[in-house]
């Protein structure tokens, strides 16, 4: 028999009770976390959102409550009426461990089936089970704490944005395609058969329209949808802090984001200071082989192409040779060196060369190709110290406009840093990357494509290069785009935009869109640009990733209430799913067999 809640009201949260609450009469409500039956005394740990409190049922003092408590099982929902007393022995593991509650009355408000896994801090349940029963998983303290952190971070961001004069403005979810470079999720229109909405890949066009509309400063914490290929830490729907500013310089945007991030970090107990470091894209690739360098450790790359000149043919070297000094790795065994070479080759390296540095000098099989002097010179260039291993990498495939050897060496650098434990976990290295390439080479399309989205502004001196039809010149054009990076993770990107219709149209043309495609896809936007568009720019940060980093979590799924798996499935709701024939008929959709991927 279940009891009724009636008019009973909760007075306290379990986890908040302290010694100062002793002698208070309280009403607590929550779930039975654990129960221990010692005969005349029965204890339960009662759980609510705030944490746990120990409840004591004493048969001699309150027989009826004790009898009722004997029926309790894990996850039953109860109301406890009782008095707070100080414990004789404090439980240091519980925030409320100074006190316990002597129950005078117990109401059982609901029973619970035995859960598929025990709701406890350390769980052995697989991620699949946790996601299938996410509502039970979220009862655990860790997931709960992360959602609480997410709430506080987002609230603080909203406060900061408001204080800086931004309006939060919603933009449509049912819209048309935005070119962010991913596939769209399409939504069929019943009212207009054969027509589709696209879920927004980002509010990019709308936020630019809001600038044309004179809103001056817009932001939104907004869901975006991208049907991308499955990859470890991707979510098909994710949340952005999206913003746009009229009449900004790059510094205006950076200042806003620095303020936001400093405050968001503070919420998580992390002290960082603005302004953040800045680095040009080219320099980032040269020094770190990455457009999102992790600055928490050194091991910078050095171009030693010239030093390898004499052996280019013998060693079949194409492109550049990039080297670094790995501290302490001179002690690597034969096996470790082989593994290093294997890994680098797995990343696309053609040649991987190593040299050990000891107090006596530098030794390497390379000596016979390069000579002792050149080898010494390489050691000096990479600033190798005794105990270091010099690693040099060459690459096979050369994509126009990129340095494959540098990109591979950059990944080798990251792997070595992990292996050699060079990454200090408590450091927070923010970095702005600027002056990205405007276009990049797409190997499947064999054409230049926008490196970011096609609304990205062009560095003023480079605009004239658009007149030159050669791919090489186009690949050398710099954009007004920028990325924010934290500890080697890209948090988001943005740009100062193109605000002149004529230039925007030329970009679309350069990207190979015909007059008709331009009108059809972007006509409304190109029109809007002709009605007095202010210079504007903005950025979007991936909030799931930001919160995951602040929470010290590797996976974004841990900071999303109901995440999807890496296969883009919601295991709990079992989405995506098939739909009734009626629904398809109404939409005029006929399915044809699709090959399983
Ligand atoms: N719309 C861009 C994105 O989602 C961000 C921006 O350019 O503001 O990546």
Helices and strands in the chain, H and E counts? 16, 22
- pLDDT tens per residue, range 12-27: 999 999 999 999 999 9
CA distances from 363 to 305, 307, 359 (A): 19, 16, 11
For the full predicted model, state whether its pTM sits above 0.85. yes
Q: What is the pLDDT of residue 329?
A: 97
Q: What is the pLDDT of residue 231?
A: 74
CB 282 within 8 A of CB 435: yes
> Which residues, in sequence order, are CB contacts of 214 under 8 Å at separation 6+?
246, 534
Strands (E), 291-335: 302-303, 321-326
- Give the tokens for residue 427: 């450091």
Q: At what angle do helices 281-288 and 404-419 cross, to 10 degrees?
A: 60
Q: Which atom of ligand 1 is nearest to the CA of 243?
A: 8
- Give the tokens for residue 373: 């002097």
Nearest Cα to Cα of residue 369 among 328, 323, 290, 309: 309
Q: What is the pLDDT of residue 198?
A: 96
Residue 349: other Cβ atoms inside 10 A: 24
Pairing of strands 51-58, 99-110: parallel
Assess whether the C-beta atom of 495 lies below 6 angstroms from ligand 1: yes
Assess whether the C-beta atom of 243 lies below 6 angstroms from ligand 1: no
Helix residue ranges per DSSP H, 98-140:
127-132, 134-137
Alpha carbon nearest to ligand 1 atom 4, residue: 202
Assess whether the C-beta atom of 456 lies below 6 angstroms from ligand 1: no
- pLDDT tens per residue, range 282-322: 999 999 999 999 999 999 999 999 999 999 999 999 899 99
Span 376-383, average pLDDT: 97
Q: Which atom of ligand 1 is nearest to the CA of 495?
A: 7
Helix (H, G, I), strand (E, B) or coil at 351: strand
Ligand 1 mean position, distance from CA 563 (Å): 22
Ligand 1 mean position, distance from CA 31 (Å): 43
Burial code (b: 16+ CB inside 10 Å, e: under 16) for 301-315 equals bbbbbebbeebeeeb
* pLDDT > 70 in the chain, percent: 99
- pLDDT tens per residue, range 242-262: 999 999 999 999 999 999 999
Q: What is the pLDDT of residue 167?
A: 98
pLDDT at 397 over 90: no
pLDDT at 597 over 70: no
> Which residues, in sequence order, are CB contacts of 475 under 8 Å at separation 6+?
400, 401, 437, 439, 440, 441, 448
Residue 181: pLDDT band with limits 50, 70, 90: confident
Assess whether the C-beta atom of 204 lies below 6 angstroms from ligand 1: yes
φ and ψ at residue 117, rounded to 5 degrees: -145, 155
Q: What's the chain's length in residues? A: 597
Span 468-495, average pLDDT: 95
Report the distance separating Cα 369 and Cα 90, nearest Å.
71
Assess whether the C-beta atom of 483 lies below 6 angstroms from ligand 1: no
Ligand 1 mean position, distance from CA 519 (Å): 22
Helix (H, G, I), strand (E, B) or coil at 299: coil
Any idea what DSSP says for residue 295?
Answer: T
φ and ψ at residue 388, rounded to 5 degrees: -85, 160
Helix (H, G, I), strand (E, B) or coil at 155: helix
- pLDDT tens per residue, range 314-365: 999 989 999 999 999 999 999 999 999 999 999 999 999 999 999 999 999 9
Q: Which atom of ligand 1 is nearest to the CA of 224?
A: 4
Ligand 1 mean position, distance from CA 378 (Å): 41
CB 472 within 8 A of CB 441: no
Residue 118: other Cβ atoms inside 10 A: 16
């Amino acid at each position: 028999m279940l009891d009724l809640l009636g008019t009973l009201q909760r007075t306290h949260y379990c986890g908040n009770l302290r010694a100062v609450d002793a002698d208070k009469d309280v009403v607590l409500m929550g779930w039975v976390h654990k129960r221990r039956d010692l005969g005349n005394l029965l204890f339960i740990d009662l759980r609510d959102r705030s944490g746990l409190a120990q409840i004591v049922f004493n048969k001699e003092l309150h027989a009826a409550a004790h009898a009722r408590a004997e029926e309790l099982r894990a996850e039953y929902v109860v109301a406890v009426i009782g008095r707070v007393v100080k414990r004789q022995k404090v439980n240091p593991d519980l925030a409320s461990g100074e006190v316990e509650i002597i129950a005078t009355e117990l109401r059982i408000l609901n029973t619970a089936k035995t859960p598929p896994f025990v709701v406890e801090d350390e769980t052995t349940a697989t991620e699949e089970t946790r996601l299938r029963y996410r509502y039970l998983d979220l009862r655990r303290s860790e997931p709960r704490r992360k959602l609480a952190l997410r709430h506080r971070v987002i609230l603080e961001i909203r406060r900061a944005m408001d204080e800086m004069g931004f309006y939060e403005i919603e933009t449509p979810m049912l819209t048309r395609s935005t070119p962010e470079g991913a596939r769209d999720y399409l939504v069929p229109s019943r009212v207009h058969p054969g027509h589709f909405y696209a879920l927004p890949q980002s509010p990019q066009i709308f936020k630019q329209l809001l600038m044309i509309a004179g809103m001056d400063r817009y932001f939104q914490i907004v869901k975006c949808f991208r049907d991308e290929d499955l990859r470890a830490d991707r979510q098909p729907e994710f949340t952005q802090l999206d913003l746009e500013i009229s009449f900004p310089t790059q510094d205006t945007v950076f200042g806003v984001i620095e303020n936001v991030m400093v405050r968001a970090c503070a919420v998580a107990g992390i002290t960082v200071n603005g302004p953040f470091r800045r680095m040009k894209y080219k320099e980032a690739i040269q020094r770190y082989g990455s457009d999102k360098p992790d600055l928490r450790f050194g091991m910078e790359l050095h171009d030693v192409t010239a030093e390898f000149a004499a052996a280019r043919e013998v060693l079949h070297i194409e492109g550049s040779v990039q080297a670094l000094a790995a501290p302490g790795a001179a002690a690597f065994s034969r096996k470790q060196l082989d593994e290093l070479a294997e890994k680098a080759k797995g990343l696309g390296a053609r040649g991987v060369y190593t040299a050990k540095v000891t107090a006596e000098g530098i030794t390497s099989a390379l000596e016979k190709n390069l000579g002792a002097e050149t080898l010494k010179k390489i050691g000096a260039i990479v600033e190798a110290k005794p105990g270091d291993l010099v690693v040099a990498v060459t690459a096979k495939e050369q994509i126009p406009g990129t340095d494959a050897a540098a990109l591979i060496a950059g990944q080798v650098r990251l792997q070595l840093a992990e292996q050699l434990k060079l990454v200090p976990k408590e450091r927070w290295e923010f970095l702005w990357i600027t002056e990205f390439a405007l276009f990049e080479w797409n190997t499947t399309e064999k054409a230049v494509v926008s490196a970011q989205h096609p609304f990205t502004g062009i560095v003023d001196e480079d605009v004239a290069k658009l007149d030159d039809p050669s791919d090489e010149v186009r690949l050398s054009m710099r954009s007004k785009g920028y990325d924010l990076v934290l500890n080697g993770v890209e948090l988001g990107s943005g740009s100062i935009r193109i605000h002149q219709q004529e230039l925007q149209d030329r970009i679309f043309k350069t990207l190979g869109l015909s007059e008709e495609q331009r009108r059809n896809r972007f006509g409304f936007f190109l029109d809007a640009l002709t009605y007095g568009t202010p210079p504007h720019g903005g950025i979007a940060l991936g909030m799931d990733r930001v919160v995951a980093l602040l929470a010290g979590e590797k996976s974004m799924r841990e900071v999303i209430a109901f995440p999807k798996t890496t296969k883009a499935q919601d295991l709990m709701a079992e989405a995506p799913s098939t739909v009734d024939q009626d629904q398809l008929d109404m939409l005029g959709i006929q399915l044809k067999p699709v090959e399983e991927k």
